[in-house]
């Protein structure tokens, strides 16, 4: 996959996520990926070490995500969004696998609907300003 590609964006917000979203990700990683690699390769081999590294690094990402379900503060949602997106990038190479949840395991852009609306308003204001500048340039010539 080219370096400029990224996972699809989710039709949900950070405040839509729950702690129950974590277990399926952990199970997918452990049962479908790490255990398969460990079964298929000798201990100490490069592939077995890669499986262990995957288990440890993504396990730490999963643990980090789990820290951000303790309250409904905006900063918590921002941290939840960030931790979720890091984890999605780690699981994304398996998109297309039968057990990969392609509907849920996507990047999240906003922490809540209000953040999405603020971003949309900002984009509209920027487009209006650009259009006004363009109109002014046309009338000056």
pTM, to two decimals: 0.78
Checking if the pLDDT of 78 tops 80, the result is: yes
Q: Tell me the C-alpha distance between 72 and 4, whole Å.
A: 33
H helices of the chain, where? Answer: 22-27, 35-40, 46-66, 74-91, 113-140
Q: Tell me the C-alpha distance between 82 and 33, whole Å.
A: 24
β-pair partners for 9: 107
> What average pLDDT does the chain have?
87
- The tokens for 108 are 């999240």
83-109, pLDDT tens digit by residue? 999 999 999 999 999 999 999 999 999
Checking if the pLDDT of 17 tops 90, the result is: yes
């Amino acid at each position: 996959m080219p370096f400029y590609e990224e996972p699809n964006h989710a039709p949900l917000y950070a405040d839509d996520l729950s702690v129950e979203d974590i277990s399926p990700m952990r199970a997918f990683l452990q049962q479908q990926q790490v255990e398969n690699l460990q079964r298929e390769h000798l201990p100490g081999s490069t592939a077995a070490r890669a499986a262990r590294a995957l288990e440890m690094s993504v396990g730490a990402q999963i643990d980090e995500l789990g820290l951000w379900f303790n309250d409904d503060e905006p900063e918590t949602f921002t941290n939840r969004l960030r931790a979720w997106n890091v984890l999605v990038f780690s699981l994304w190479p398996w998109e297309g696998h039968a057990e990969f949840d392609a509907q849920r395991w996507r990047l999240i852009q906003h922490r809540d609907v209000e953040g999405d609306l603020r971003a949309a308003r900002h984009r509209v204001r920027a487009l209006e300003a650009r259009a006004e500048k363009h109109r002014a340039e046309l009338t000056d010539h």
